[in-house]
Amino acid sequence: MGSLAVILGSGAAGPGGGGIAAVAERHAVVRQRHGSGDAYVLPHRIDHEANLRALAEAGCDRVLAICSVGSLDPGLGVGSLVCPHDFIALQVTVTGFDDPRGHATPGFDTAWRSEVLAGWRASGAGELRDGGVYWQTNGPRFETPAEIGLIAAHADVVGMTLASECIVAGELGLRYAAVCAVDNLANGIEERPLSPAELERDRARNVSRLRDDLAAALPELAR
């Protein structure tokens, strides 16, 4: 059996987040989605194939992706954790193939996703919602209220990276599942506009909880 890889977003991996340490201490391989150090890579410029190929070459066979998302449902508040079961990414054309293999059927690895849910619960980590649809937008800008109104009719959370990452992981033979942390209500869900400053504030509040949850769950998932 290969190793577990954990891909962290900027919030969980950032200064004071402790996400990297929580992963490394559990003998899982860690990758920072947006790059390391001061060289932050915007969502639409991430080289998902390079990130995932490095994990495959390191002997990993499964990936747990930690993603920051906006909620499309006022009832799914900031601080919630979601393990999505499907995604919508109509504009995404990412693939590592230049031949008919690109006509693949993408999606989360069903068995691995079930293991993540079971391991998370067995570990005593915080509540993780089973199921939800993730809608990927191009980014890096946030969505308009009109766009969110359209998206919210079909999905539960919105982000800019997960679908591309999942597609490429499948092409490389990596089993892929995700835990999405709700760091904000999407622009238009509340009457006032989404503020990037408020997003960063709420994301910082979520970091310590996510660190503790990872520290608890990873011993179950890395077996």
Residue 15 has pLDDT above 50, yes or no: no
Facing residues of 129 across strands? Answer: 82
CATH top-level class of 3-221: alpha beta
Minimal CA–CA distance to 159: which of 7, 5, 4?
7
The overall pTM is greater than 0.85: yes
Report pLDDT for 79.
Answer: 93
Residue with tokens 């503790």, as numbered in its chain = 212
Minimal CA–CA distance to 132: which of 115, 150, 165, 108?
108
Minimal CA–CA distance to 89: which of 158, 184, 41?
158
Residue 157 has pLDDT above 70, yes or no: yes
Q: What average pLDDT score do residues 48-71 get?
A: 96
Give the strand pairing for 60-71 and 157-159.
antiparallel
110-147 residue pLDDT tens: 999 999 999 999 999 999 999 999 999 999 999 999 99
Q: How far apart are CA 217 and CA 120, in angstroms?
A: 5
Residue 173 has pLDDT above 80, yes or no: yes
HSE-up (13 A, CA, CB side) for residue 211: 21
Q: How far apart are CA 105 and CA 160, in angstroms?
A: 20
Residue 16 has pLDDT above 50, yes or no: no
Give the strand pairing for 29-32 and 157-159.
unpaired
